[in-house]
């Protein structure tokens, strides 16, 4: 089904929205850049520009020079914001401690997230970064933009902010780095009213949902991640903007188990596209891979002599569950043992494809290490149908959102609550039976216990009757 | 709703700390109105934010609430 936006969309035309002329945008030469000297002495940062890797310092210097050459009335925050930023980073390197103060009251009216307050604790030395707030801009699903949009937002940020951005932050959002408090509301107005753009999540909120490129460009996508991400972003707007959770909560959507947005490692609730019928095998293409007519892994290892493609060594022996073998020249897969690791499909994409009976696996509790160390998501729902408007999946979301906000402590992630109360409790909340696969080591984590109502006759027994059959 | 709002404001005015988590608000409201639902409490808190009686205080990773005018409530 073709994509249908929820609001009427206006085509953004840069020439109508632009703030800067071409001359202003291209206002320095490479020669000037070579001779550029930051107003602060920044020897350690200069050092970071050396070596083979690109450095943010080189980008920041371009921006600093660009701002230096703009007319004073063409920027609404200080011209020197980038140079002061570099100066403060150098000071932090010198002293081995940060000079940022984090957090505060800043935000836009009615929103509890999307703006992260940041202040310099040495504003006398670096007045241009006395405020240096971050704004998270909710990226479109799979980060598809057109250049009119990107140019318009860059102009806006040059005019009302520092001009420095992350494309994109690890949250998925477009991250606009550094502005003053008085600019927040005007920026929000421009974003929402002119660019039809919302800000993202931060704080104890649902964070900006994020997805892989999905069916837009990927043949492996088993679910429409973009549609799902768009739907969940709209449906759960209140949770995104008005914080009432114990801590952050993340949804991420991966179209297949290749997990390109790493939902399995980074989201409290990870959605991974999967299939439950057999992997589709084109035996002729398998032979073509064996015969060297098709390059393995889409040619991603070309350019070096790795020797002839060896299906036994490079595919069959690498299967983690040993579910593949060759029989009479044909590749056979025992699907009951397949864990959807995707290795065989990635190596021979023209011979093997995911099945057609597709849906989603749902995992819970992944997080980065703040408390208790990093955790991967627990595969809790191996397969669920995944079709718009996703009511069956929203039901699961809401069961978790009845439990975690109630039982979770302040600043406790879902994964930590699962650890504290046990997987059994999670299964009770979701009303699903335990699976043997959930027990990794039966003798060390036997967390499934019978409850009285599960046992015929309950716990009551006649001790005399028992003793008649069992001697003391 | 008005009853919940009042319970929230009473708590915000008298709590030991000037910034508190949503769970603290919930606990305080439930003491006064035991059958108040979390969603109703959230709606009431949002209404108080929109009326500029409460404010959000965010560190970026977690969010707290506060009473406008009590403790640090202006930009620093």
CATH number of the domain enclosing A312: 3.30.70.20
pLDDT at B73 over 80: no
For B75, which of A102, A106, A112 is closest by C-beta distance?
A106
In terms of domains, do A447 and A308 share one? Answer: no
Residues of B in contact with A104 (CB under 8 A): 57-58, 75-76
Confidence grade of residue A404 (pLDDT, cut at 50, 70, 90): very high
In terms of domains, do A218 and A160 share one? Answer: no
Residue B59 included in any domain: yes
In terms of domains, do A338 and A240 share one? Answer: no
Residue of B nearest to A135 (CA): B60
Q: Is A140 on the interface with B (CB under 8 A)?
A: no
In terms of domains, do A348 and A361 share one? Answer: no
In terms of domains, do A90 and A186 share one? Answer: yes
In terms of domains, do A230 and A299 share one? Answer: no
Residue B26 included in any domain: yes
Residue B72 included in any domain: no
pLDDT at A442 over 70: no
Candidates A119, A244, A411: best to mutate against B (most CBs of B within 10 A) is A244
Q: Is B49 on the interface with A (CB under 8 A)?
A: yes
**Interchain pair B58, A203: CB under 8 A:** yes
Q: How confident is the model over A413-425, as a mean pLDDT?
A: 93
Confidence grade of residue A447 (pLDDT, cut at 50, 70, 90): low
Percent of chain A with pLDDT over 90: 83
b/e for A265-281, b at 16 or more Cβ within 10 A? Answer: bbbbbbbbbbbeeebeb
Higher pLDDT, A106 or A159: A159
pLDDT tens string A220-247: 999 999 999 999 999 999 999 999 999 9
Percent of chain A with pLDDT over 70: 98
Residue B74 included in any domain: no
Residue A202 included in any domain: no
**Interchain pair B63, A134: CB under 8 A:** no
- Give the CATH number for residue B36: 1.10.10.10
Q: Is A233 on the interface with B (CB under 8 A)?
A: no
In terms of domains, do A334 and A362 share one? Answer: no
In terms of domains, do A259 and A123 share one? Answer: no
Residue B34 included in any domain: yes
pLDDT of residue A333: 97
**Interchain pair A202, B61: CB under 8 A:** yes
Least confident of A65-69, A91-95, A121-125, A458-462: A458-462
Residue B45 included in any domain: yes
For A411, which of B49, B62, B74 is closest by C-beta distance?
B62
Residue B75 included in any domain: no
Please give the Cα distance from A409 to A401 (Å, whole number): 14
For A119, which of B45, B60, B76 is closest by C-beta distance?
B76
Q: How confident is the model over A416-439, as a mean pLDDT?
A: 90
b/e for A128-142, b at 16 or more Cβ within 10 A? Answer: bbbbbbbbbbbbebb
Q: How confident is the model over A188-194, as a mean pLDDT?
A: 95
In terms of domains, do A91 and A148 share one? Answer: yes
Residue A306 included in any domain: yes
pLDDT of residue A449: 72
Q: Residue A309: CA atoms inside 13 Å, Cβ hemisphere, count?
A: 21
pLDDT at A106 over 90: no
Residues of B in contact with A101 (CB under 8 A): 76
Confidence grade of residue A412 (pLDDT, cut at 50, 70, 90): very high
Residues of A in contact with B59 (CB under 8 A): 102-103, 203
Query: A112: distance to nearest CA of chain B, Å?
Result: 6
In terms of domains, do A84 and A124 share one? Answer: yes
pLDDT at A438 over 90: no
Whole domain around residue B20: which residue ranges? Answer: 2-67
pLDDT at B75 over 60: no
Q: Which of A326, A331, A330, A328 is nearest to A345 (CA)?
A: A331
Residue A190 included in any domain: yes
pLDDT tens string A364-399: 999 998 877 899 999 999 999 999 999 999 999 999
**Interchain pair B75, A112: CB under 8 A:** no
Query: B75: distance to nearest CA of chain A, Å?
Result: 6
Residue A187 included in any domain: yes
Q: Which residues, at least 6 apart from A141, have a Cβ–Cβ distance to it below 8 Å? A: A211, A214, A225, A226, A227, A229, A230, A233
Confidence grade of residue A354 (pLDDT, cut at 50, 70, 90): very high
Confidence grade of residue A405 (pLDDT, cut at 50, 70, 90): very high
Whole domain around residue A33: which residue ranges? Answer: 14-194
Residue A4 included in any domain: no
The string of DSSP codes covering A236-276 is THHHHHS--SSS-B-EEEESSTT-TT-HHHH-SEEEEEEE-
Residue of B nearest to A180 (CA): B75
Q: Is B55 on the interface with A (CB under 8 A)?
A: yes
pLDDT at A456 over 90: no
In chain A, how many domains are there? 3
pLDDT tens string A274-304: 999 999 999 999 999 999 999 999 999 888 8
In chain B, how many domains are there? 1
Return residues 64-123 of A near B (CB < 8 Å). 101-107, 110-113, 115-119
Q: How confident is the model over A68-87, as a mean pLDDT?
A: 97
Pick from A310, A337, A353: which residue ends a domain? A353
Q: Is B3 on the interface with A (CB under 8 A)?
A: no
Q: How confident is the model over A86-101, as a mean pLDDT?
A: 96
Residue A58 included in any domain: yes
**Interchain pair A116, B60: CB under 8 A:** yes
Q: Is B72 on the interface with A (CB under 8 A)?
A: yes
Please give the Cα distance from A419 to A434 (Å, whole number): 16
pLDDT of residue B65: 94
Residue A464 included in any domain: no
Task: Provide φ and ψ at B38, rounded to 5°.
Answer: -55, -40
Residue A466 included in any domain: no
In terms of domains, do A326 and A404 share one? Answer: no
Distance from CA of residue A328 to its chain's centroid?
Answer: 44
pLDDT tens string B17-59: 999 999 999 999 999 999 999 999 999 999 999 999 999 998 8
pLDDT at B72 over 80: no
In terms of domains, do A168 and A19 share one? Answer: yes
Residue B31 included in any domain: yes
Return residues 6-35 of B near A (CB < 8 Å). 21-24
Helix (H) or strand (E) holding A88: helix A81-95
- Give the CATH number for residue A156: 3.30.70.2500
Please give the Cα distance from B51 to A110 (Å, whole number): 9
* Average pLDDT over chain A, rounded to an integer: 94
pLDDT tens string A21-71: 999 999 999 999 999 999 999 999 999 999 899 999 999 999 999 999 999
């Amino acid at each position: 089904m073709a994509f249908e936006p929820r609001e009427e969309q206006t085509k953004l035309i840069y020439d109508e929205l632009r703030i800067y002329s071409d001359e202003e945008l291209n206002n320095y030469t490479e020669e000037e850049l070579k001779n550029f000297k930051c107003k602060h002495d920044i020897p350690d940062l200069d050092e970071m520009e050396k070596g083979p890797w690109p450095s943010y310092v080189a980008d920041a210097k371009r921006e600093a020079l660009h701002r230096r050459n703009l007319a004073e009335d063409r920027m609404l925050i200080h011209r020197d914001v980038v140079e002061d930023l570099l100066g403060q980073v150098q000071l932090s390197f010198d002293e081995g401690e940060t000079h940022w103060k984090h957090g505060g009251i800043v935000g836009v009216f009615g929103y509890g997230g999307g703006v992260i307050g940041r202040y310099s604790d040495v504003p006398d030395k670096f007045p241009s970064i006395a405020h240096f707030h971050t704004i998270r801009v909710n990226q479109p699903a799979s980060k598809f933009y057109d250049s009119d949009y990107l140019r318009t937002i860059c102009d806006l940020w040059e005019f009302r902010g520092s001009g420095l951005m992350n494309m994109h932050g690890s949250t998925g959002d477009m991250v606009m780095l550094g502005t003053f408090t008085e600019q927040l509301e005007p920026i929000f107005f421009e974003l929402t009213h002119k660019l039809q753009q919302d800000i993202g999540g931060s704080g104890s909120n649902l964070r900006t949902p994020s997805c892989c490129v999905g069916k837009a460009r990927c043949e492996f996508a088993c679910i429409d991640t973009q549609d799902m991400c768009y739907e969940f972003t709209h449906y759960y707007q209140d949770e995104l903007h008005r914080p009432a959770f114990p801590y952050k909560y993340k949804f991420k959507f991966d179209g297949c188990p290749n997990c390109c947005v790493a939902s399995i490692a980074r989201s409290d609730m990870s959605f991974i596209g999967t299939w439950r019928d057999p992997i589709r095998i084109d035996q002729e293409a398998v032979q073509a891979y064996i015969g060297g007519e098709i390059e393995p892994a889409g040619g991603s290892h070309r350019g070096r002599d790795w020797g002839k493609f060896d299906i036994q060594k490079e595919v069959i022996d690498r299967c983690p569950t040993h579910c593949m073998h060759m029989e009479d020249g044909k590749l056979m897969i025992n699907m009951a043992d397949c864990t959807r690791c995707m290795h065989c499909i990635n190596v021979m994409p023209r011979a093997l494809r995911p099945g057609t009976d597709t849906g989603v696996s749902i995992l819970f509790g992944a997080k980065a290490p703040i408390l208790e160390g990093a955790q991967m998501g627990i595969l809790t729902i191996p397969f669920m149908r995944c079709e718009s408007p996703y009511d069956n999946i929203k039901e699961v979301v809401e069961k978790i959102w009845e439990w975690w906000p109630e039982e979770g402590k302040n600043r406790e992630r879902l994964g930590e609550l699962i650890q504290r109360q046990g997987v059994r409790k999670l299964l009770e909340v979701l009303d699903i039976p335990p699976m043997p696969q959930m027990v990794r080591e039966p003798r060390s984590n036997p967390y499934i216990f019978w409850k009285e109502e599960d046992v015929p006759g309950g716990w009551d027994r006649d001790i005399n009757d028992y003793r008649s059959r069992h001697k003391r | 709703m008005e009853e919940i709002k009042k319970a929230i404001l009473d708590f915000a005015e008298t709590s030991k700390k000037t910034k508190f988590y949503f769970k603290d608000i919930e606990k305080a409201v439930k003491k006064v109105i035991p059958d108040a639902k979390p969603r109703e409490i959230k709606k009431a808190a949002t209404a108080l934010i929109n009326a500029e009686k409460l404010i959000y205080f965010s560190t970026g990773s977690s969010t707290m609430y506060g009473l406008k005018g009590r403790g640090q409530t202006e930009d620093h």
